[in-house]
Amino acid sequence: MKQKHISIFLLIVLALSILVGCASEQPEAATNVTTTSVADSTAVETPTANSDSSETESNDSSPEDQGPPAGGDMGAFNVDKSGDTELAALIAETESKFQPYTYTDTETDLTLPYNLYLPDDYDPAKSYPMVVFIADMSVVGQDVTAPLEQGYGGIIWASSEEQAKHESIVLVPEYPVTILDDHGSYTMTDYVELTVRLIESVSADYSVDTDRIYATGQSMGCMTFLYLASEHPDLFAAEIFVSGQWDVTQLDGIASQKSFYIVAEGDPGGSGGQEQLYDYLTAKGVEINLANDWDAQWSESEFDAAVSDILSQSSSTLYFANFKVGSTLPEDVAEGTSEHMYSFDYAYKIEGVRDWLFKQTKATPETGEATTTADATPAIVA
């Protein structure tokens, strides 16, 4: 009888152990589900090196059409430029000459940090052209100086060499969020139109020649200015669009602009967007000067000749050029890598394009009068 009682006791202990074990496993399973859910929601914002969407891949949307290039230290979606001594010297020369400010928009109550460069001998009695640069998504939400440090696009205009030729004011905003989206659909935030009011505010506060306001941007900045130049055809004297794209059905106004549009053929999003806009506008009778297979490694004299050639093609004021496949990639980066972000600096280093920009005004060559929307008619193919 005693042995039977011991057996029953052991069975009870075993049953209790199984029940306790099952109970302890249940919370762990629930915790895994929660962790996976949080991880998944975080993962959709993670950049992917081989994606065809621009700079980030998101289930909600992505603001651009090209992913960050593989190879090298991407950091916060960035190409590793630590070995670019020329860029480092340019940053050291120019960054401290910019002053940080914050614009408060009365229409939306939003605020926007920005950097402003004034010429060394700035004189309020004089009138200066102004270059406005918007960077790509990689610097969104960072310190106000981030777009000055990412590459050439925001600071090359403030170099002593450039200012000696083209004395100008330079405006570089730093956006707290991604301001527009072309992934799946085309949407934008209030910051896009706010940018127009920022430009108007700075123009009113400083001695800006409003017939010589120039817009330029890369990727997100390119997309923004494609849209704004079309929607506000009287705002800019000319634009340089670099490595971006937008819904062509919203870009009819580009036909009246004076623009260089530069992309890398190895950037499917940018080059595809450029090709779509070319087809869309030329189908409407707009003439566009086109240059294929520019080599990003050309010498200054070779680029001078290439720019001279495209400028002489026709009377059209639209110039579309692309870098041939692979020419923007560093030697240690695999062939076939997206050239989206590698192409930015090469476009801004073309002196002939920068010189062309500063020759443009909103005054018509024939009359010297300011161009209006009605006057801004596209060049028509004969």
The 10s digit of each residue's pLDDT in 182-222 is 887 899 999 999 999 999 999 999 999 999 999 999 999 99
Q: Is residue 336 part of a domain?
A: yes
pLDDT at 43 over 90: no
How is 245-295 classified by DSSP, letter by letter? ---GGG-GGGGGS-EEEEEETT-HHHHHHHHHHHHHHHHTTB--EEEEEE-
The DSSP secondary-structure symbol of 69 reads: P
**Average pLDDT, integer, range 44-72:** 35
Q: Is residue 130 part of a domain?
A: yes
- Domain residues for the domain of 319 are 85-358
Q: How far apart are CA 95 and CA 97, in angstroms?
A: 5
Whether 212 and 307 share a structural domain:
yes
Prediction pTM value: 0.78
pLDDT at 344 over 50: yes
Whether 98 and 32 share a structural domain:
no
Q: Is the torsion defined by CA of 289, 293, 295, 298 positive or negative?
A: negative
Whether 226 and 351 share a structural domain:
yes
**Pairwise pLDDT comparison (71 vs 330), residue with the higher score:** 330
Whether 37 and 118 share a structural domain:
no
How many whole angstroms from its chain centre is CA 2?
84
User: What pLDDT was estimated at residue 77?
Assistant: 53
Q: Please report where in the chains the tokens 């050639």 appear, as a residue.
A: 309
User: What pLDDT was estimated at residue 184?
Assistant: 76
Q: How far apart are CA 314 and CA 378, in angstroms?
A: 13
Q: Is residue 312 part of a domain?
A: yes
User: What pLDDT was estimated at residue 181?
Assistant: 86
User: What pLDDT was estimated at residue 377?
Assistant: 36
Q: Is residue 55 part of a domain?
A: no
Let me know: does 270 contact 250? Beta carbons within 8 Å: no
pLDDT at 28 over 60: no
User: What pLDDT was estimated at residue 5?
Assistant: 52
H or E segment to which residue 24 belongs: helix 2-43
Whether 9 and 135 share a structural domain:
no
Whether 130 and 31 share a structural domain:
no
**Average pLDDT, integer, range 365-375:** 38
pLDDT digits (tens, 9 = 90+) for 83-128: 999 999 999 999 999 999 999 999 999 999 999 999 999 999 999 9
Tokens standing for residue 196: 């127009």
Count of other CB atoms within 10 angstroms of residue 116: 18
Q: Is residue 69 part of a domain?
A: no
Task: Name the domain count of the chain.
Answer: 2
Tokens standing for residue 276: 């779509």
Q: Is residue 305 part of a domain?
A: yes
Whether 101 and 35 share a structural domain:
no
pLDDT at 314 over 70: yes
Whether 29 and 112 share a structural domain:
no
Q: Is residue 230 part of a domain?
A: yes
Whether 136 and 28 share a structural domain:
no
Let me know: does 195 contact 153? Beta carbons within 8 Å: no
Percent share of the chain, pLDDT over 70: 74
335: left (phi over 0), alpha (psi -120 to 50) or beta: beta
pLDDT at 365 over 50: no
**Pairwise pLDDT comparison (75 vs 273), residue with the higher score:** 273
Whether 313 and 204 share a structural domain:
yes
**Average pLDDT, integer, range 43-55:** 34
pLDDT at 6 over 60: no
**Average pLDDT, integer, range 256-266:** 98
Whether 112 and 218 share a structural domain:
yes
User: What pLDDT was estimated at residue 243?
Assistant: 98
Q: How far apart are CA 195 and CA 332, in angstroms?
A: 38
Whether 90 and 36 share a structural domain:
no
